């Protein structure tokens, strides 16, 4: 029916700090966007701190998953894309009486004045 | 967006408004500016939809645009080595790295687009600016990579230098940039290992392999020092520090690079092509300065050994794929 409001599902995303991405926390039923925002605050932010909240009508979410396992299939070993795929570097540096560098070490060093 | 408009007309004081309206606009703007600086000083993070002074927007846009385009142009020297990589495993990891760099470019250009949109920029102009020389890219990506050892030195030291400059931006005031940088840095940690793995193999290898590595280091050393930028604190850097977009000077970062890498370069038996290089009693590195004018001109005028060739390739790719972007609409 035209003009009659209906309750619909909204997906809720919360951003904890400005340096984090928005994270999906759940969904709720609401009559419109402003009700969804109000309910999201009551449902999901009673304790947790946040800097931003998104509500998205479920109908606006395009998704892939569930039974479509092929989409996520890993046909090949992908360890060459991971730090862990180069674990032998550490031993090899040792041979040269030095050690492998880690990202955390660099971050910490750059933060130091 | 409205705010930006009032900002610009306020600065120019135009559009036939009475002096009264003008001064009202200026007062409002001064108040907004003050509130903005209070936020910056309090360590607040700014989002793309927040009010920001035009100067802040333009500083960020210039920085992130250049960063994004450099990621894309940075894929070219390494992409040249994908077909020639010595083993299948090396080919896979180099290809993965090239794919990451182009991905970094995409993420960064998206952040730049949101900054450019209110002042009339879009993805296409951000992309094509590199053909006309309106946007520059880092000196290191103008250089030739003639041997496999160059691919190793790029992964190890160029990425190493880039990781240092990028981690120095992680705590910046513009939140969308810092979120992208977090992801970029996480992927860079694989690039770091990939580069080390290549140079370790060469360093463990035959005399010829070790010499090839030494020659590559000799080729790249001055470019690496230049990469961090001039010693003096330029006016854009000073402004970026005022706005807490970055908190470290070029020289501080170059020193950190030398701290981390000089001992490792020596450890693998390489000689740094600078006999004056040493660390003083205060822990400060002294080094033979790169030819500032030579490299600045290379970046400014796109006159490095590979500048024209790579820009041409980029343009051919962009224009050659225009039809594909069109049919997707
Ligand atoms: Fe990158
Ligand atoms: Fe990288």
Average pLDDT over residues B159-175: 97
pLDDT tier for residue B5 given thresholds of 50, 70 and 90: very low
Q: Which residues have C-beta within 8 Å of that of residue B147, sequence separation ≥ 6?
A: B212, B215, B216
In a domain, A81, yes or no: yes
In a domain, A97, yes or no: yes
**Greater pLDDT, B20 or B178:** B178
In a domain, A102, yes or no: yes
| Residue B109 C-alpha from the chain's centroid | 12
Q: Clarify whether residues A54 and A97 are in a common domain.
A: no
Contact state of A83 with B190 under an 8 Å Cβ cutoff:
yes
Tell if the pTM clears 0.95, that is, is over it. Answer: no
The DSSP output letter for B154 is: I
What is the distance between the alpha carbons of residues B113 and B104, in angstroms, rounded to a whole number?
A: 14
Least-confidence region, from B3-17, B191-205, B309-323: B3-17
What is the distance between the alpha carbons of residues A70 and A63, in angstroms, rounded to a whole number?
A: 14
Here the CATH number for the domain that contains residue A23 is 3.10.20.520
Contact state of B268 with A100 under an 8 Å Cβ cutoff:
no
Residue pLDDT, tens place only, B260-278: 999 999 999 999 999 999 9
| Residue B127 C-alpha from the chain's centroid | 15
Contact state of B189 with A103 under an 8 Å Cβ cutoff:
yes
Contact state of B196 with A86 under an 8 Å Cβ cutoff:
yes
Q: How far is the CA of A61 from the centre of ligand 2 (A)?
A: 32
Least-confidence region, from A14-18, B27-31, B269-273, B289-293: B27-31
Contact state of B167 with A107 under an 8 Å Cβ cutoff:
yes
What is the distance between the alpha carbons of residues B121 and B5, in angstroms, rounded to a whole number?
A: 15
Q: How far is the CA of A73 from the centre of ligand 1 (A)?
A: 26
Contact state of A96 with B267 under an 8 Å Cβ cutoff:
yes
Q: What is the pLDDT of residue A3?
A: 62
Q: Clarify whether residues A19 and A50 are in a common domain.
A: yes
**Greater pLDDT, A39 or B14:** A39
Q: Clarify whether residues A55 and A86 are in a common domain.
A: no
Our CA-based measurement puts residue A20 at a distance from the nearest CA of chain B, in whole angstroms, of 7
pLDDT tier for residue B115 given thresholds of 50, 70 and 90: very high
Is B167's pLDDT higher than 50?
yes
A77 in contact with B at a CB cutoff of 8 Å?
no
Chain position carrying tokens 């903005």: B36
Average pLDDT over residues B54-76: 97
Q: Which domains does chain B have, with CATH numbers?
A: 40-307 (1.20.1260.10)
Is B3's pLDDT higher than 50?
no
Q: Which of A110, A111, A113 to mutate to test the interface with B (most CBs of B within 10 A)?
A: A110
Number of structural domains found in chain A? 2
A108 in contact with B at a CB cutoff of 8 Å?
no
Is B158's pLDDT higher than 80?
yes
Which chain A positions have a beta carbon within 8 Å of B248's beta carbon?
110
Closest CA in chain B for residue A102: B189
In a domain, A2, yes or no: no
A97 in contact with B at a CB cutoff of 8 Å?
yes
Residue pLDDT, tens place only, A76-100: 889 999 999 999 999 999 999 999 8
Share of chain B above pLDDT 90, in %: 90
For residue B67, give the ligand nearest its CA. 1
What is the distance between the alpha carbons of residues B262 and A110, in angstroms, rounded to a whole number?
A: 16
Q: What is the pLDDT of residue B25?
A: 81
Q: Clarify whether residues A95 and A56 are in a common domain.
A: no
Average pLDDT over residues B65-81: 96
Q: Clarify whether residues A20 and A45 are in a common domain.
A: yes
In a domain, A68, yes or no: no
Contact state of A101 with B192 under an 8 Å Cβ cutoff:
yes
The domain in which residue A87 lies consists of: 74-107
In a domain, A99, yes or no: yes
Q: Clarify whether residues A55 and A84 are in a common domain.
A: no
Which chain A positions have a beta carbon within 8 Å of B188's beta carbon?
103
In a domain, A95, yes or no: yes
Contact state of B192 with A103 under an 8 Å Cβ cutoff:
yes
Is B6's pLDDT higher than 90?
no
Half-sphere exposure of A107 (CA within 13 A, CB side): 13
Angle at B66 between CA A110 and CA B145, to 5 degrees: 85
Beta pairing, strands B278-279 & A23-30? unpaired
pLDDT tier for residue B10 given thresholds of 50, 70 and 90: very low
Q: How far is the CA of A102 from the centre of ligand 2 (A)?
A: 14
Is B155's pLDDT higher than 90?
yes
pLDDT tier for residue A75 given thresholds of 50, 70 and 90: confident
In a domain, A21, yes or no: yes
Q: Clarify whether residues A16 and A46 are in a common domain.
A: yes
Q: ipTM score of the complex?
A: 0.87
Least-confidence region, from B19-23, B83-87, B132-136, B291-295: B19-23
Q: What is the pLDDT of residue A2?
A: 57
Residue A81's nearest CA partner among B194, B268, B134 is B194
DSSP H helices in B16-147: 19-41, 54-79, 88-116, 123-132
Q: How far is the CA of B33 from the centre of ligand 1 (A)?
A: 34
Where a domain ends, among A60, A82, A98?
A60
Least-confidence region, from B15-19, B45-49, B143-147: B15-19
């Amino acid at each position: 029916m035209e003009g009659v409001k209906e309750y619909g599902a909204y997906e809720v995303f919360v951003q904890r700090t400005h340096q984090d991405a928005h994270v999906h926390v759940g969904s709720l039923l609401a009559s419109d966007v402003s009700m969804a925002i109000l309910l999201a605050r009551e449902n999901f932010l009673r304790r947790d701190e946040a800097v931003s909240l998104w509500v998205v009508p479920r109908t606006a979410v395009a998704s892939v998953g569930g039974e479509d396992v092929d989409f996520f299939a890993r046909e090949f070993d992908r360890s060459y894309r991971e730090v862990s795929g180069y674990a032998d570097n550490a031993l090899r540096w040792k041979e040269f009486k030095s050690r492998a560098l880690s990202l955390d070490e660099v971050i910490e060093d750059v933060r130091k004045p | 967006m409205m705010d930006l408009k009032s900002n610009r007309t306020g600065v120019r004081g135009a559009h036939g408004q009475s002096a009264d309206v003008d001064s009202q606009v200026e007062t409002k703007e001064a108040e907004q500016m003050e509130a903005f600086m209070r936020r910056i000083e309090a360590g607040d993070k700014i989002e793309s939809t927040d009010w920001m002074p035009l100067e802040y927007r333009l500083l960020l846009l210039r920085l992130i645009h250049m960063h994004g385009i450099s990621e894309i142009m940075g894929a070219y020297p390494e992409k040249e080595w994908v077909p020639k990589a010595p083993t299948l495993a090396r080919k896979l990891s180099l290809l993965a790295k090239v794919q990451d760099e182009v991905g970094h470019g995409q993420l960064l250009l998206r952040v730049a687009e949101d900054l450019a949109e209110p002042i009339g920029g879009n993805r296409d102009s951000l992309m094509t600016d590199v053909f006309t020389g309106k946007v520059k890219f880092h000196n290191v990506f103008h250089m030739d990579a003639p041997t496999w050892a160059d691919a190793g030195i790029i992964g190890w030291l160029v990425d190493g230098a880039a990781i240092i400059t990028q981690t120095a931006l992680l705590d910046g005031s513009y939140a969308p940039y810092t979120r992208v940088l977090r992801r970029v840095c996480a992927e860079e940690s694989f690039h770091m290992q990939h580069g080390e793995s290549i140079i370790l193999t060469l360093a463990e290898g035959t005399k010829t392999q070790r010499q090839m590595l030494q020659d590559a280091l000799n080729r790249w050393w001055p470019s690496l020092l230049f990469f961090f930028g001039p010693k003096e604190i330029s006016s854009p850097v000073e402004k970026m520090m005022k706005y807490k977009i970055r908190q470290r000077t070029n020289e501080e970062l170059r020193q950190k690079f030398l701290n981390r890498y000089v001992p490792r370069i020596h450890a693998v038996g390489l000689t740094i092509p600078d006999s004056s290089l040493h660390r003083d009693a205060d822990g400060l590195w002294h080094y033979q300065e790169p030819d500032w004018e030579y490299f600045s001109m290379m970046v400014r005028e796109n006159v490095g050994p590979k500048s024209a060739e790579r820009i041409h390739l980029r343009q051919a790719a962009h224009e050659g794929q225009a039809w594909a972007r069109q049919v997707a609409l």
